[in-house]
Chain A
């Protein structure tokens, strides 16, 4: 599985670049300007699609951690580490682009409502995972602890996903776009964003896995 991802990196890269170009073209020329918010609403297409790759990355961290604990195979630990790093990239973009959209629409960069706070907590959880991996490199105990931490952290994902429902209307963040009854042009542009970001995610993940494998091979050569 790891070998497949590493070998396919270039293909993911070409697909991701093509999809990004199509998505940007759709944002500029195809998606309509929203009547109330105006052109600033188009931040929507850059903000929302970050969610799926972030959740997927953290999901792979939990899955890789679980499989590592069961099998003790290093490749699963590398998958967990790669998933967290790429997931944090996309989660950072959620946390950064959200306030840029919120300021002109809500009048505030940030409000402490359930969805925003839960997303920030999720970001901190996996940022801490990356710090753990960076500063406590290598030992089996670190890998075991990181696996358990990565699995425990995934609990935050459904909490973020369903935060708007859980808040029962006490949130400024809009609900799931699928439920909002968007016009077809907006839905297609959003869909193109999800596809483009998922392909970018696949490319980053494959390259990050390759780096982790190269590091492991070098480490083995230096310390057989």
Chain B
């Protein structure tokens, strides 16, 4: 039974973990994209 629980926990935790990683990367890039573009030294 413990092997069964371990296997399903690993699968579901991996899905959630990868989803969270994608979400963090996406949000960081969207924040970066929203920053005003530099026009160089004034």
Contacts and interface: CB of A to CB of B under 8 A. Distances in A.
Interface of A: 20, 24, 27, 39-40, 42-43, 46-47, 50, 89, 92-93, 96-97, 100-101, 103-104, 200, 204, 207-208, 210-211, 214-215, 217-218, 221
Contacts of B14: 89, 92-93
A7 to B, nearest CB: 14
Interface residues of B, number: 21
Contacts of A47: 7
Given A46-B8, A92-B14, A221-B37, A104 B3 contact: yes
Nearest to A97: B7
B10 A93 contact: yes
Q: Which 6 A-B pairs have the closest CB atoms?
A: A214-B29, A43-B7, A207-B22, A100-B7, A97-B7, A46-B11
B25 to A, nearest CB: 5
A214 B22 contact: no
A135 B35 CA distance: 26
